[in-house]
Amino acid sequence: MSSRRTFTSEYKRECAELVIKHGYQVKEAANAMNVGLSSLQRWLSQYRNEMKGITPKATAITIEQKRIQELEAQVKQLKRDKDLSRLITLTQCLLCK
């Protein structure tokens, strides 16, 4: 049984750009890059959505969307830290009484 291949975001972007920026047919690009047709179609859909500004739930393909995902993760962590800090302060106040 063969193991499942994984592709980097950069590779997915390169594959999608063959079709979008360089005019390859989807099947032609899939063959040239040695990826499945359905995989490339999925990456193309994700790439187009990201170019429209839609942040994916999966790992982003475009550099801009990757940065957005990183910033969203930082905001989420900061909110958790803030909530924890409030909880600690509240607990300390209750223990002092």
More confident call, 95 vs 77: 77
Within-domain flag for 15:
yes
User: How many structural domains comprise the chain?
Assistant: 1
> Residue 77 phi/psi, 5° resolution?
-65, -40
Q: Show the domain range for 64.
A: 9-96
Within-domain flag for 27:
yes
Within-domain flag for 2:
no
pLDDT of residue 21: 95
**Burial classification of residue 21, based on how many CB atoms lie within 10 Å of its CB (0-12 exposed, 13-18 middle, 19 or more buried):** exposed
Q: Per residue in 1-41, pLDDT tens? A: 678 899 999 999 999 999 999 999 999 999 999 999 999 99
Within-domain flag for 37:
yes
Within-domain flag for 24:
yes
Within-domain flag for 1:
no
Selection from 13, 21, 9 nearest residue 47 by Cα: 13
Task: Report the CATH number that the domain containing residue 15 is assigned in CATH.
Answer: 1.10.10
Within-domain flag for 4:
no
Tokens of 94: 């209750």
- Residue 91 — pLDDT band, cuts 50, 70, 90? confident
